[in-house]
Amino acid sequence: MRDVAQHARVAVKTVSRVVNGEPGVRPQMAERVQQSITELGYRRNDGARVLRRGQTASIGLILENIGDPFYATLSRAVEDVAARHHALLITGSSDEDPDRERTLALAFCARRVDGLIIIPASRDHTYLEPEIAHGCAVVFVDRPPRLIEADTVLTGNRDGAASGVAHLIGNGHRRIGFIGDDSRIYTAAQRHQGYRDAMAAAGLAVADSWITMASPSPSGVGAALDRMLTGAAAGGPGQLGAAAGGPGQLGAAAGGPGQFGAAAGGPGQFGAAAGGPGQLGTAPVTAVFCGNNRVTALALRELRSARASVALVGFDDLELADLLEPGVTVVAQNTGELGRIAAEMLFRRLNGYHGPPETIELPTTLIPRGSGELPPSGLTHLTTLISRGSPELPPPI
């Protein structure tokens, strides 16, 4: 820095202000300093800066999987805020593994990051207490911390899921399936509870066979849809869309092929099956609520592969959802806002705020696009697209 000052014929403090983006330097002088920096190849020594200020100008972000569009959007929002604060963002994926989360968090702290933003997988965050006591700021996002108090930014998962299921109920559905993520995950459990809230509010019973909660996979989602869409119809379980009318005819039974939800009791008897009309859990569901965008994408592919049609609402938006026909109705959360607020809360702590921990919950938005507005019968348009193998639908896995 002294060499730059001598070359530019200015004080060392002036060079420092230019390098650190501080005010108080005339434009002409700043330009002269920048020219000297370029000619001399000067690079700022961040190690010395850390020793002087006691901060690294870096923060850590621990999320589940950076490859997931939800987390990619959240990460970018955090990075944008960090850039405005002249800080570097370091990111790691926990893969929903509590031990990996802890390892990453402590590794970041060992590298002296100024703060952490965590999408938690662990059920015990007391391991962070020594780091917090030594000045590391911590904010949790998407899920709350366990056994400690800290700033937290959440989505209204329970209310959002309830609104999506209520939307299906409002369109005439009474037999609604739920496919969610692992029940140990906070967001999955909250969305499942929202589903049950909406069904209970409408006075609707729920069969165990209508609910699946597990880490999303093509085979798992396919098996769940198989069970939900066949029920106990005369064709027997395990044949997606099969019944007495013949395989592949969703909900068809002895009353005749292609009559959605009909069964041996006679055509058109909603929710009836071979044992007679109205037996809970013995006939196909007419709608499915998907607990996150990965489940929704898998469900769409499995439904196409099975040539089955069903009304569907998903939690989380997904790319190209509006380009399908019908478009996919979703309960959208503002992922970018989750990341932005979490980052702003973190930098507020780093700038000296010492108030009590705060929790902010952001609302969701129901976006009707067509799939959630299909009635319990006459789902002909989606069935036609599926039977034609429309390129507008995602390819089967």
What tens digit of pLDDT does each residue of 317-358 get?
998 899 998 999 999 999 999 999 999 999 999 999 999 999
pLDDT at position 387 is: 43
pLDDT at position 148 is: 98
Q: What is the CATH number of domain 56-155+336-363?
A: 3.40.50.2300
Strand ordering across the sheet containing 151-155: 88-93, 58-63, 115-118, 137-141, 151-155, 359-362
Distance (Å, rounded) from C-alpha 394 to C-alpha 174?
28
- Per-residue pLDDT at 243 exceeds 60: no
CATH superfamily of this structure's domain 157-334+367-387: Response regulator (3.40.50.2300)
Distance (Å, rounded) from C-alpha 188 to C-alpha 160?
12
Answer whether 305's CB lies under 8 Å from 396's CB.
yes
The string over 348-373, giving b where at least 16 C-beta atoms fall within 10 Å of a residue's C-beta and e elsewhere, is: ebbeeeeeeeeeeebebeebebbbbb
Distance (Å, rounded) from C-alpha 59 to C-alpha 37?
27
Please write the tens of the pLDDT for every residue from 104-146. Answer: 999 999 999 999 999 999 999 999 999 999 999 999 999 999 9
Residues forming CATH 1.10.260.40 domain(s) in the chain: 2-44
**Per-residue confidence band for 22, with pLDDT thresholds at 50, 70 and 90:** confident
* More confident: 266 or 179: 179
Confirm or reject CATH 3.30.70.260 for domain 2-44, answering yes or no: no
Token pair in block for residue 132: 């917090």
Residues forming CATH 3.40.50.2300 domain(s) in the chain: 56-155+336-363, 157-334+367-387
Mean pLDDT calculated for residue range 183-208: 97
Nearest to 288 by CA among 395, 210, 349: 210
| Beta pairing partners, 312 | 288
- Which of 38-42, 47-51, 84-88 has the weakest average pLDDT? 47-51
* DSSP-derived 3-state class of residue 27: helix
- Per-residue pLDDT at 231 exceeds 60: yes
- Calculate what percentage of the chain has a pLDDT beyond 70: 78
Please write the tens of the pLDDT for every residue from 76-110. Answer: 999 999 999 999 999 999 999 999 999 999 999 99
pTM of the model: 0.74
CA dihedral in degrees (348, 351, 356, 362; nearest 10)?
Answer: 0
pLDDT at position 253 is: 32
Q: Helix crossing, 293-306 with 218-230: angle to 10°?
A: 60
pLDDT at position 241 is: 38
Distance (Å, rounded) from C-alpha 123 to C-alpha 114?
23
* More confident: 153 or 278: 153
